[in-house]
Structure 1
C-alpha cells in the first residue's frame, strides 16, 4: 500500500484574527468628498469677492448721486429757481406734513433717476434709451417717468446732447402738427426756427409711401448731431428730459 502523504492537519495553516485593541488608521476621505469640499471653499471665496464688489459699487453710486444732487442744487440756486430738497435739511416750521412728504418723494425720484442712468446737466436730467420705439411710444415711455422727449432750446444744450449721443440717432421732442406741418416741442417749450439746428436740407418731409411723410425729429449723425426729420413710425432710441425745478 502506498504511503500516505503528510497529515492534513500538518499542512493546514490557521490564521488568527488581529488583536481588537490595535487602533485602526483613519481612512482618507473619498476623492469625491475632497472635490466637493474644495468646490465649496472656492464658491465661498467667489461669493465674498462678489459681495465686496457689489458693496464698492453701491458706495460709488451713492457718492456719485450725492455729487449730482449738489451740482443740481448749485445750478438751481444760480438760476434763482426753487432749490432741490436737501435730504439732510430740517423741516421748515411753516412746512406742512404733506409738503414735507412731497419733498421727500421728489428727492426720491431724483435719486432713483440718477441711479438708473439719467445724466444731470445744468439743472436738468436726461435719459438716453438703450432700446428702440416709434416716436409716439418713445414719448409715452418718457411720460411714464414724468418727463418728455427732449426739447433743445440753446446751442449749449444742442452741443451737450449731440456729444452724449456719440454719433447715434435719437428721437427728440419735436413733431410736426396740423395741415401745414408746423413744428412744436412736445413739452410745451417755444419752438423758434431761428434757434433750430436742422442739418442742411432738412426738414424735407420725405414721403415713405404707406408709412406716410416724415413728421418727427431726431438727432442725427450727419453734421455732428444736427436734426433730421424722419417718419414717426420708424423705431429709434430716444432722449427724455426733465427739469429739476419742476415737481
Structure 2
C-alpha cells in the first residue's frame, strides 16, 4: 500500500484579515508618519533641561567649594592664637590643638554650621527653653548668644523663617535679661522685634521670660513663655575645649 501524504503536510490554514467579519480583533491603529519638527522640539527641550541642570549643579559646586575654602581659612586663622602663643610649641600643645580641630570637624560632619569662629546647630526637635539649653549642654554648647548685628543677620538668614529658642532669658527680681553662656547682655546690642518684649501673660503657664528668633520682623527677637516647645539653636565657640 502506497504511503499517503501526511494530512498536516497538505493542510493550508487561511487566517482572515484583521477586522474581517467574524474576527473579534480590531484593526491595528494606523501609524502616522514621524514628525521631524516634533523630534526637533523634543530634542531642544531635553538639551535645555540638561543645560539648566548642569548649570545648577555647577553653581552649587562653586558655592560649596568657596564656603569650604573660607571655613578652612577662618579655622586656621582663629585657631593659631590658641596654639604656640599660649601653650608653647610642645608636642602636647600641638596635640591639644589638633584634637580640638578634630572635634570641630566631627561636629561639622554631624550637621553643625560654621560661621566666623563659632559653630551652630539648628535643631529639628522641639523642647521647652530649659530642656533645649540642657540639650546644648550635652554637646558642650549653650543656646546661642547674639552680640553683633552681623551674627544676628547670620542667624536670621539660617533660620529660614523658622522660630528658634536662643540663649536669652529673664531671671531674678524684675526679670533682668541674661545670656545662658554668661555673655553680658547689652541693650545696645539687642535685636527685638517692634513691640517686644511685651511679657504677655499666658495664664496658668505664666508670663514670657525666654527669647526666640521669630519670623515676624525677619528673624528679630520675641519673648515667649519658657514652657512652650520650639526648636532651638546651639552655639559653640572655638575656645571651648
- Is the TM value for this pair above 0.5? yes
What does 1:35-46 align with in structure 2 at a 5 Å threshold? Answer: none
Q: Helix, strand or coil: the match of 2:236?
A: strand
What TM-score do the two structures reach when normalised by structure 2? 0.66
What does 1:1-247 align with in structure 2 at a 5 Å threshold? Answer: 67=69, 70-76=72-78, 81-82=81-82, 94-97=89-92, 99-247=93-241
What TM-score do the two structures reach when normalised by structure 1? 0.65
**2:83 touches 2:97 (CA, 8 Å); kept in 1?**
no
Q: Deviations over 1:166-194 (max 9, x none)?
A: 00000000000002100011111111112
Cα distance in 2 between the residues matched to 1:129 and 1:148: 13
- Which has more radius of gyration? 1
Q: Helix, strand or coil: the match of 2:82?
A: coil
Q: Deviations over 1:33-90 (max 9, x none)?
A: xxxxxxxxxxxxxxxxxxxxxxxxxxx9xx899746513324517xx84269xxxxxx
Aligned length: 176
Q: Helix, strand or coil: the match of 1:172?
A: strand
Cα distance in 1 between the residues matched to 2:133 and 2:209: 14
Task: Tell me how far 1:211 sits from its aligned partner.
Answer: 1.0
Q: Helix, strand or coil: the match of 1:142?
A: helix
Q: Which runs of 5+ in 2 are unaligned?
A: 1-60
Q: Which runs of 5+ in 1 are unaligned?
A: 1-59, 85-91
Q: Deviations over 1:189-241 (max 9, x none)?
A: 11111210001111111111111111000000001001000011100000011
C-alpha spacing 1:123/1:224, structure 2 compared with 1 (3 Å): same
Structure 1 segments (4+ residues) deviating >6 Å: 63-66
What is the RMSD of the two structures over their aligned residues, measured on CA atoms? 2.6
**1:123 touches 1:243 (CA, 8 Å); kept in 2?**
yes
